[in-house]
Amino acid sequence: MKIKKGDQVVVITGDDASSTPRQVLSVLVGGEKMLVQGVNQVYKHVKRGHPKSPSGGRLHMEMPIPSSNVMYYCESCSKPTRLGFKYDEQGAKERICKKCGASAGKISPPRDKHAASK
């Protein structure tokens, strides 16, 4: 999965679709679903004595959404975009924006076989 925890994403379809970027709280089930801050919120009714709500009541929480409903938000071009992979000069694998080519962070350490020959 190309989208990681802490990335900014835009929800492109569903009830919570909007153009405002939101943060990914966690990625679940091998990347097929994810929790996004403020999206797909539900009420969970809990009994008295629950660790999060000792007095009982309704907890407001986010539920997972499919990862196909979101797109990565690139801060350098300020648009939702797809991500790709590329090896840099040292041989480290990094995520890149498909529209502007900006780096979205490294995902593996440098390797000799992918390093640029000099």
CATH number at residue 109: 2.30.30.30
pTM above 0.85, yes or no: no
pLDDT in tens, the chain (118 residues): 689 999 999 999 989 899 999 999 999 988 899 999 999 999 989 888 878 778 888 888 899 999 999 999 999 999 999 999 999 888 899 999 999 989 888 888 888 888 876 5
Q: Token pair of 18, please?
A: 């909007």
Query: Does 46 reside within a domain?
Result: yes
DSSP 58-85: EEEEE--EEGGGEEEEETTTTEEE-EEE
Query: Does 75 reside within a domain?
Result: yes
The distance from CA 77 to its chain's CA centroid, rounded to whole angstroms, is 17
Query: Does 60 reside within a domain?
Result: yes
Cβ within 8 Å of residue 78, ≥6 positions away:
none
**Residues spanned by the domain of 83:** 8-114
Count structural domains, the chain. Answer: 1
Query: Does 93 reside within a domain?
Result: yes
Cα–Cα distances in angstroms (integers) from residue 106 to residues 12, 37, 72, 94, 96, in the given order: 26, 24, 16, 4, 9
Query: Does 85 reside within a domain?
Result: yes
The distance from CA 22 to its chain's CA centroid, rounded to whole angstroms, is 9
Residue owning tokens 């004595």: 49
